[in-house]
């Protein structure tokens, strides 16, 4: 069953939703034809940790962790910033740092050219092994949407702030090296029926049994889904 776009948009706008609304493992991630096994297989493959890494996504934590938390986000999204600053550190401490879960970032840059540029810039930072450091400094400096805080000049300044080689970074950003990757991430989200940010997909590391969490939910909402996934492995 697909969640209608209007409903998802309303959920994102207020960032409040009952977890029970998203407790079905395949909610928002099923094809319209539930009997289409080839479509199910393709979707599972696209969400496997192996495929995500091959497509250029960055992973936090043990790549062999049994469960993967995939975040679809926009660096200009205020609720994404709230998650990064308030909830992500809890998840990192309890699940990622303990080797139970790994986390993958996917770009769902929907808020204009500065969002696209910020996504490209983060991938450029990844070329120097500092994707997550750059991810963090973007959210630490997040301002009002399309206010200029994520201008290309500022993106380059952030690169200097975390010690990146500026010549290499500037060349990568100015050439829009990762524009195609960002667009492919956006298309993947659309293929999954995801329409707003942040949206999270929790799946086993082979991409199976994906479950959506929509919005910047509190830590307990993530604990519920992650613990259920981990618990199923023990039964």
DSSP 8-state assignment for residue 46: H
In this predicted structure, the answer to whether residue 19 has a pLDDT above a threshold of 70 is no
Q: What global pTM score does this model have?
A: 0.84
198 upstream amide cis, omega within 30 of 0: yes
Comparing CA positions, the residue from 68, 55, 75, 127 lying closest to residue 102 is 68
In this predicted structure, the answer to whether residue 139 has a pLDDT above a threshold of 60 is yes
Structure confidence by residue, pLDDT tens digits, 77-97: 999 999 999 999 999 999 999
The DSSP bridge partners found for residue 213 are 200
Q: How far is CA 31 from CA 2, 40, 47, 144, in A?
A: 8, 7, 14, 36
Residue 41 tokens, joined: 């297989």
How confident is the model at residue 168, as a pLDDT? 98
Number of folded domains that form the chain: 1
In this predicted structure, the answer to whether residue 40 has a pLDDT above a threshold of 90 is no
How confident is the model at residue 42, as a pLDDT? 73
CA atoms within 13 A on the CB side of 166: 9
Q: Residue 119: which domain range?
A: 5-234
**CATH code of the domain containing 178:** 3.40.30.10
Structure confidence by residue, pLDDT tens digits, 96-134: 999 999 999 999 999 999 999 999 999 999 999 999 999
Comparing CA positions, the residue from 128, 221, 220 lying closest to residue 170 is 128
């Amino acid at each position: 069953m697909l969640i209608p776009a209007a409903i998802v948009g309303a959920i994102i706008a207020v960032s409040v939703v009952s977890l029970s609304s998203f407790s079905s493992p395949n909610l928002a991630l099923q094809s319209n034809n539930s009997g289409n096994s080839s479509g199910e297989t393709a979707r599972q493959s696209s969400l496997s940790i192996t495929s995500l890494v091959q497509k250029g996504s960055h992973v936090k934590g043990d790549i062999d962790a049994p469960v993967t938390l995939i975040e679809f986000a926009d660096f200009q999204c205020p609720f994404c910033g709230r998650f990064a600053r308030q909830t992500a550190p809890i998840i990192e401490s309890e699940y990622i740092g303990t080797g139970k879960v790994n986390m993958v970032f996917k770009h769902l840059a929907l808020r204009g050219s500065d969002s696209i540029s910020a996504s490209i810039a983060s991938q450029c930072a990844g070329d120097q092994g500092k994707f997550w450091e750059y991810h963090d400094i973007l959210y630490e400096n997040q301002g009002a949407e399309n206010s200029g805080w994520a201008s290309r000049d500022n993106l380059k300044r952030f690169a200097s702030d975390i010690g990146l080689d500026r010549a290499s970074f500037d060349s990568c950003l100015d050439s829009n090296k990762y524009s195609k990757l960002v667009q492919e991430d956006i298309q993947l989200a659309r293929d999954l029926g995801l329409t707003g940010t942040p949206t999270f997909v929790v799946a086993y590391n082979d991409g199976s049994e994906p479950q959506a969490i929509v919005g910047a939910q509190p830590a307990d909402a993530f604990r519920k889904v992650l613990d259920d996934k981990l618990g199923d492995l023990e039964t």
